[in-house]
Amino acid sequence: MSTTTTTRRLTMAQAISEATAQEMERDPRVFVMGEDVGKYGGIFSATTGLLDKFGPERVMDTPISETGFMGAALGAAAEGLRPISELMFVDFFGVCFDQIYNHIAKNHYMSGGACKYPLVITTGIGGGYNDAAQHSQCLYSIFAHVPGLKVVVPSNAYDAKGLMTSAIRDDNPVVFLYHKGIMGLSWMSYFEGSTNEVPEEQYTIPFGQARVVREGSDVTIVTLSQMVQKSVLAADKLAEEGISAEVLDLRTLVPLDRAAVLKSVKRTGRLLVADEDYLSYGLSGEIAALVAENIDTVRLKAPVRRLAVPDVPIPFSRPLENFAIPQVENIVASVRGLMTFKLDQ
Amino acid sequence: MEATAEQLLWMYEKMVEIREYEETMAKVYLEAKLPPKVQKGLAFDIGAGPVPGEMHLAAGQEPVAVGVCAHLRRDDTVVGAHRPHHFAIAKDVDLNAMTAEMYGKATGLGRGKGGHMHLFDPAVKFSCSGIVGAGAPQACGAALAAKKLGTDAVAIAFFGEGAANQGAFHEALNLAALWKLPVVFVVEDNKYGISVEKSASTAIASNADRAVAYGMPGVLVEKNDAVAVFEAAGVAVARARRGEGPTLIEVKTDRYFGHFQGDPETYRPKGEAKELRQHDPIPALGALLRSRDLLDDEADAALRARVSARVQAAYDFGRNSPYPEPQDALLHVFAE
Ligand SMILES: Cc1ncc(C[n+]2csc(CCOP(=O)(O)OP(=O)(O)O)c2C)c(N)n1
């Protein structure tokens, strides 16, 4: 049997709205709500075109009432609908976190599995465009920390479409975090690698499967989201110096593809975690712990290195923000450091 | 409460200053963001230029800021929102340091840490937030402090009609009424919360009506007019100072620019902003001053020159100040 696949180059924003549209066509229970998701098409264009296709009953602009519409998503999901609820910037979760972490995340568990809450929370993350401390965070680790939420953080359009389709079809609450700097917005500079070939047909990408973006033998860079694009650029530079870096895109934090991390680090013997979230108590610590816990099977040639935001709020000013958020040069420098390290045998 | 000649002139001059500040920012902000540079097809690079990041301008909304702040002292607190410049200027925030902050300079109010949505000037008790609705409970706290400390200072929370749908707003109103706090909540109804029209976000026409639910006076100012705001705010501030509790005021006002600079404004009827400018409150107040012989061409020109000099000096100061050292990013997470 032969199937023809048509692909086009899409931005990540287009891929997300296409996945959403196709699922809305397939399943009348799916609907979208959030601030400015209608006429505006979402501030980061994640819902562009949906209002025209599906009308205001299924693409609902909400008041600025995050507690209200996150709680409403839960209530609607409990009745069998499949809401997609957009929190414009992840930074705003603070005003509605009770609905998310005490209810959306826990009700299935507390019902002993009796109740299901198939909903998706979409939200924009990340800095790099000088929007300061309340509009530039990643915070995915906070969501991943709470049991009961699946956490998806795509790095490119192809993955975003497949992961979004999976997210909508999942019977669990899924938090889907897209980095503004890789959405392909016309008003933000970004890293080319996130716009790529995307099939028109629907497809799913299962959660919990990391992707080797670039193979390498000297060092493993474990990363996600926009840091994937930065890590690939860093790997290019390192290659010029004869250092072969493997870039592993986690794609989902919950579930986490631990096996892929271990497999790669076993091969390379060196690990750098490159993360745009805060350093302490987060993703980078989780990955480092994973390797430490498996140190009996992983032969390290150097200590684990973590590159993340050094536990400061994201500052506004350009030189400050550049310093706080890990850049390509920082990744390069960290890897160089790992390569020169001599572990006493 | 009638405005004195001095108060009318003050409001006029401040409105001219705010407008000039915002119109200047609209130009400065665009520098180096156009034409396309980083990526093909890039219309606008929000992170480029001397003033990067988001920019929300308040041109058109001047009457709200000056009409309220005309009643305030240095020791009264103002908590603004993400669209903060008009309030900041009306509260006499240091204009040079405020501007330097938007340039991300070491001389800025927050040494480049905060930027346009996060301006803090403790000298005049001004702060603001990029989180919609967050200011209302904070103003309650300032008012509570005034009460505990036995001063007659008041606190003002300014925010948009969109923010009035946040839980924080409703909790704050109840707290303020319950504790009889010297606070005034001022809602700017500029008709839109980003792209969403008030009629699509709020179940009732006027937020002033919501005051009933909390047992406080609710006042609707139906005209985007400095004198009308002044009168309503005068009653509310005096009531708060007397220890009689909070007031909720909603003012119908106009936003001339997009929600933020670069906003395609697809939600707005074509020509609406231009039409709104036909009812500009600044010439209206100018005309009133003239009719009372408080202003003539010469005085107006002198005032405008004065204002221009101040605004220009602030932008020069911001532009010419040095950037902070990159590693200063690590400072100020905790108080020393
Ligand atoms: C808690 C929170 N939710 C959403 C936003 C995004 N946001 C910023 S401004 C804005 C609209 C605010 O509208 P309004 O309160 O009417 O003020 P205006 O912009 O009209 O001055 C929104 C939704 C935010 N900053 N904070």
Radius of gyration of chain A (CA): 20
Q: At a CB cut-off of 8 Å and minimum separation 6, what does A197 contact?
A: A7, A8, A9, A158
Q: At a CB cut-off of 8 Å and minimum separation 6, what does A189 contact?
A: A129, A181, B38, B39, B42, B45, B47, B48
Does residue B163 contact residue B133 with C-beta atoms inside 8 Å?
yes
DSSP string, B280-311: -HHHHHHHHHHHTTS--HHHHHHHHHHHHHHH
Residue bearing tokens 């694009």: A229
pTM: 0.96
Ligand 1 nearest atom to the CA of residue B259, by list position = 19
Whether residues A316 and B327 touch (CB distance < 8 A) is answered with no
Two tokens, residue A71? 């709680």
| CA pair distance A318, B47, nearest whole angstrom | 8
| CA pair distance B172, A39, nearest whole angstrom | 31
Residue bearing tokens 């603001």: B128
Which pLDDT score, from 0 to 100, does residue A341 have? Answer: 85
Q: pLDDT category, A190, cuts 50, 70, 90?
A: confident
Q: pLDDT category, B40, cuts 50, 70, 90?
A: low
What are the Cα distances from residue B168, in Å, to A94, A191, B58, B146?
11, 37, 23, 21
- Contact pairs from chain A to chain B, CB under 8 Å: 161
Does residue B311 contact residue B34 with C-beta atoms inside 8 Å?
no
Which pLDDT score, from 0 to 100, does residue B37 have? Answer: 46
| CA pair distance A169, A166, nearest whole angstrom | 5
Other Cβ atoms less than 10 A from the Cβ of A53: the count is 13
A319 neighbourhood in chain B, CB within 8 Å: 104, 323-326
Whether residues A131 and B42 touch (CB distance < 8 A) is answered with no
| CA pair distance B134, B137, nearest whole angstrom | 7
ipTM confidence score: 0.94
A63 neighbourhood in chain B, CB within 8 Å: 162, 165, 193, 196, 201-202
B324 neighbourhood in chain A, CB within 8 Å: 317, 319-320
When pLDDT is averaged across residues A219-239 and rounded to a whole number, the result is 98
Pairing mode of beta strands A150-152, A252-254: antiparallel
Two tokens, residue B205? 């026409």
Which chain B residue has the Cα nearest residue A188? B45
When pLDDT is averaged across residues A221-227 and rounded to a whole number, the result is 98
- Please write the tens of the pLDDT for every residue from B261-319: 999 999 999 999 999 999 999 999 999 999 999 999 999 999 999 999 999 999 999 99
Q: pLDDT category, B38, cuts 50, 70, 90?
A: very low
Ligand 1 nearest atom to the CA of residue B133, by list position = 1
| CA pair distance A141, A153, nearest whole angstrom | 11
Query: Ligand 1 center to residue B132 CA distance, Å?
Result: 5
Does residue A159 contact residue A226 with C-beta atoms inside 8 Å?
no
Mean pLDDT of chain A: 96
| CA pair distance B283, B104, nearest whole angstrom | 34
Does residue A124 contact residue A90 with C-beta atoms inside 8 Å?
yes
Two tokens, residue B49? 């230029």
Q: Which of A174, A244, A254, A239 is nearest to A212 (CA)?
A: A244
Give the full edge-to-edge strand order of the sheet including A219-223.
Answer: A211-214, A245-249, A219-223, A271-278, A305-309
Measured CA angle at B252 (ends B306, B95), to 5 deg: 30
Pairing mode of beta strands B196-197, B192-193: antiparallel
The closest CB to that of A320, out of B196, B202, B328, belongs to: B328
Query: Ligand 1 center to residue B192 CA distance, Å?
Result: 9
Higher pLDDT, A82 or B35: A82
- Please write the tens of the pLDDT for every residue from B108-131: 999 999 999 999 999 999 999 999
